[in-house]
Amino acid sequence: MGLNLLGSLYLFGEFVGSRENPTALPNFSLKDPIAIEAEIECILNRLTLEEKIDLCHAQSKFSSMGVPRLGIPELWMSDGPHGVRAEFEWDSWNKANWTNDEITAFPALTCLASTFNPELSWAYGFALGEEARYRDKDVLLGPGVNIYRTPLNGRNFEYMGEDPYLASRMVVPYIQGVQKNGVAACVKHFALNNQEYWRNKVNVELSDRALHEIYLPAFKAAVQEGGVWTLMGAYNKVRGQYACHNEFLLMDILKEKWGFDGVVISDWNATHDTKEAALYGLDIEMGTGTNGMDVSKLDHYDYYFLAKPFLEAIENGAIDEAFLDDKVRRILRLNFRTAMNPYKPLGRKNNPEHHAVALQVAEEGIVLLKNESNFFPIKDQAGVTIAIIGENATRPMTIGGGSSGLKAEFEISPLEGIREYYQSAKIVHALGYESGPSDYNQVMAPSSNRSKLLEEAIEVARDADYVLFVGGLNKSRNQDCEGGDRLSYGLPFNQEAIINELYEVNPNIGVLLVSGNAVALPWLDKVKGLIQTWYLGSMTGQAIANIVGGSANPSGKLPFTFPKKLTDNGAHYFGEHSYPGVDFEQNYEEGILVGYRWHDTMGIDAEFAFGHGLSYTDFSIEGIVVNSVQYHLDDDIRIALSISNTGKMAGSEVVQVYVGKPNSKVHRAKKELKGFKKVDLRPSETKQITIDIPVSDLNYYDPNRANWHLERGMYHLFVGTASDQILKKIKIMIK
């Protein structure tokens, strides 16, 4: 198994010991991977068996032990994927109530994915890494790349959508940006943690092709292209064995086939057995005795599965010490990359640069779904009244959601942002509905004050020139939240009825949808405009106001499909054996046909397709050509085209290239995303662009070979601006 150090070594200079014990370890050049490995062996030989064991499990809620005798520091970890979580007490889930742990809240990862902008993903990761470095964190527990399989999954907002290629291209720069700060990214949750319901018990069964073609590619890219330093296991079982000590996933695939040289960290309380944890790839055990968020038993860290029980198993000969040594080598390697790196930067937080990154991601990620009669943008004009209706116009969204909840220094609400933006127009507001407090443990019910709130909303909307309903989901239990899935596909808290009532008194209505998931839209024909706004973090209100008012042009594209009804989704089409499972057993019956692959192949129209997103300007794409009509295995397919902005406003378009194999000898999707490029254009500007696709990317996973295989013959290239907006189909041959 080869080393994977080169991507990080430019961060390091020469290690000179610790402040407490500056002569504990000899000097050596960290620029030399061979020297690093030699030093790891030197340290390993000086550790006692008990000290080795101490490195492999938690000592507090968010840290693992070091070895003070040798100047090896503790490792400190923190959630989460879109901001550094507030500090907790040492051994409880009570907030520490520090006064300096407020941070910038960045948009959730569904928003980042919808930018289709890998360069912006790097900026996001770098800014987030700076904030983690400022807080002296060694491991940032993110990003998440579990595939969006069902719109009911409470944790989809933390992930990067339904397409493995998009998630792969977006996760790599994120990781590289974080780790440039000497902070380890921790890609999660490996693997198949695609629902929160029964997440601690469900056993996932699926085909080898679905596993390798859909659910593993983003993790593989994180390891082999991103050089990620840590990885978190999942709660669920995979093929009968818990994912945090799963021989097939962690040993056969991750560490042997992919050559991962980093550390596998358990999810909190996801470890279940000493022998399996010792033998099957877990390196650091965290959170045993807690559900990972709020409830905590009395924790005895010495009695974790990888603590005294592990020590005793080695001492009595039941487990070979070599398994422990492999874990320690990995942990020491992580330490050299993070805590023991004397040249890591100091970090920064809550600065204008981070706010600017958060704002840009939010603006580029917001998706304009519908814009009848150019309802948006709404210009700031004297004499115009805009009615803002809905709880989500004022509800804080950086808190809640489970482990990704944040303590932001500030959060500009949609209503605040709109009021600040519109200096001439009159802004009026009514709550419309009320869900209750932001409480992870509470399942929200519609307000008992429903009638009064609706009457107030109708009164405000009746005489307005424009009505903006700000609704959707929130980050409480059974919404977009860890620990439970949504209970239905429709909007909660009577919102559908409210939209219908508002339409009756004022049909000039648009909706700002706040969510990390698709929702049912039976009211779509009653609204003139629809914008998907996601959870946008600190800069929420400013980003939304800039898009609504036209200072920014929407360029986001959906990273997942909006089905018309829940049973149009592949996971739900096959019934409860497919989702959520029966007796904790679940089979992914739809196989490789996830998201738009299912809709396209089965001929099921979506409400909004993957890759869909409108603009305030117009684009023309012409001259689409390829560099050849015949290719071999080592070739690149190059698609060249001309794209012009034919409208009156600067904007960005995402050109998308899908590939399909008609008459394949194996079951395939009609088409799969294999390339994209986001292009910024001023009015009347034209650019020539190319998109390269390696022929090897057309492989499918052959379970008979247990390897990837390229099928020869004719393929179709589909070039367009969404999975259902194809401008040209081109035939090519693979020789």
What lies within 8 Å, CB to CB, of 525 at 6+ separation is: none
Residue 596 pLDDT greater than 60, yes or no: yes
Q: What is the pLDDT of residue 289?
A: 83
Alpha-carbon dihedral 81, 82, 85, 91, rounded to 10 degrees: -10
The enclosing H or E element of 623 equals strand 619-626
Provide the pLDDT for residue 9.
29
How far apart CA 408 and CA 106 sit, in angstroms, is 9
Say if residue 27's pLDDT is above 50.
no
Q: For the segment 285-312, what is each residue's pLDDT rounded down to a tens digit?
A: 999 986 555 555 555 798 899 999 999 9
What is the pLDDT confidence band of residue 358, given thresholds at 50, 70 and 90? very high
Per-residue pLDDT at 10 = 28
Residue 206, amino acid: L
Encode pLDDT of 370-388 as tens digits: 999 999 999 999 999 999 9
Q: What are phi and psi of 247, to 5 degrees?
A: -60, -40
Q: Does residue 172 carry a pLDDT above 90? A: yes
So what's the pLDDT on residue 39? Answer: 94
Q: Is the pLDDT of residue 581 over 50?
A: yes
d(CA 378, CA 233): 46
pTM score of the predicted model? 0.94
Residue 271 clears pLDDT 90, i.e. is over it:
yes
More confident residue, 28 or 655: 655
Tokens of 79: 């959630």
Alpha helices in 152-204 (DSSP H): 164-179
Fold topology of 619-734: Immunoglobulin-like (2.60.40)
Confidence label for 663 from pLDDT (cuts 50, 70 and 90): very high
Q: Which of 267, 283, 480, 600 is catalytic?
A: 267
Positive or negative, the CA dihedral 248, 188, 129, 68 is negative
Q: Which of the four pLDDT bands, split at 50, 70 and 90, describes residue 342?
A: confident
Residue 408: which region, alpha, beta or left (left: phi > 0; alpha: psi -120 to 50)? beta
Three-state DSSP class for residue 49? helix
Nearest alpha carbon to residue 710 among 719, 720, 700: 700
Q: Is the pLDDT of residue 19 over 60?
A: no
Which helix (DSSP H) or strand (DSSP E) does residue 543 occupy? Answer: helix 540-549
Classify each residue of 671-680 as buried b or exposed e, where b means 16 or more C-beta atoms within 10 Å of its C-beta.
Answer: bbbbbbbbbe
Nearest CA-CA partner of 428 in 465, 454, 396 = 465
| Bridge-based pairing state of the strands 230-233 and 184-190 | parallel
Find out whether 128 and 84 touch, Cβ atoms under 8 Å: yes
One fold for 366-557 and 619-734: no
pLDDT at 32 (0 to 100): 74
Residue 344 makes CB contacts below 8 A (sequence gap 6+) with: 11, 133, 181, 182, 183, 338
* Architecture of the CATH domain 366-557: 3-Layer(aba) Sandwich (3.40)
pLDDT of residue 33: 79
8 pLDDT above the threshold of 50: no
Tell me which amino acid residue 508 is: N
DSSP 207: -
Closest by CA position to 710, among listed 676, 659, 675, 673 = 659
Range in 4-8, 435-439, 546-550 with the lowest mean pLDDT: 4-8
What band does 16 get if pLDDT is binned at 50, 70 and 90?
Answer: very low
Residues in CB range of 236: below 8 A, 6 or more apart: 192, 193, 198, 199, 200, 201, 202, 203, 204, 242, 243
What average pLDDT score do residues 346-350 get? 95
Contact 333, 119 (CB under 8 A): no
Query: Distance between CA 76 and CA 73 in Å, rounded?
Result: 9
- Across the range 89-111, mean pLDDT stands at 94
User: By three-state DSSP, how is residue 680 classified?
Assistant: strand
**CATH architecture assigned to 9-337:** Alpha-Beta Barrel (3.20)
pLDDT tens profile 610-632:
999 999 999 999 999 999 999 99
Q: Going by C-beta distance under 8 Å and a sequence separation of 6 or more, which residues neighbour residue 575?
A: none
| Residue 15: per-residue pLDDT | 31
CA torsion sign for 388, 389, 390, 395 is positive
CB 461 within 8 A of CB 454: no
Give the chain's mean pLDDT. 93
| 17: pLDDT strictly greater than 50 | no
Predicted confidence (pLDDT) per residue in 392-438, tens digit:
999 999 999 999 999 999 999 999 999 999 999 999 999 999 987 65
Give phi and psi for 243, each to the nearest 5: -65, -25
Q: Which two tokens stand for residue 248?
A: 């097939």
Domain residue spans of the chain: 9-337, 366-557, 561-614, 619-734
In the chain, % of residues over pLDDT 70? 93
Max Cα–Cα distance, the chain, nearest Å: 83
Tell me how far apart the alpha carbons of residues 517 and 401 are, in angstroms, rounded to a whole number.
Answer: 13
Residue 6: the pLDDT is 27
Reported as a pLDDT band with limits 50, 70 and 90, residue 3 is very low
> If you search the block for the tokens 């409830």, which residue do you land on?
295
The answer to whether residues 466 and 384 touch, using CB atoms and an 8 Å cutoff, is yes
Closest CA to 631 of 695, 726, 587: 695
From 32-36, 109-113, 371-375, the region with the lowest mean pLDDT: 32-36
Is 480 annotated in the active site? Answer: no
The pLDDT assigned to 294 comes to 57
Better pLDDT: 208 or 4 = 208
Model confidence at 31, in pLDDT bands (50, 70, 90)? low
Q: What average pLDDT does range 133-143 have in this prediction?
A: 97
Q: Look at residues 415, 506, 418 and name the one whose alpha carbon lies nearest to residue 458.
A: 506
* pLDDT tens-digit map of 496-531: 999 999 999 999 999 999 999 999 999 999 999 999
Residue among 274, 261, 206 at smallest CA distance from 236:
206
Kindly tell me the burial class for residue 275, based on how many C-beta atoms sit within 10 Å of its own C-beta (0-12, 13-18, 19 or more).
middle
Residues 478, 481, 485: CA angle, nearest 5 degrees: 45
Task: Give the model's pLDDT for residue 709.
Answer: 97
Per-residue pLDDT reduced to its tens digit, 119-132:
999 999 999 999 99
Q: Which residues contact 279 (CB under 8 A, 6 or more apart)?
A: 245, 247, 319, 323
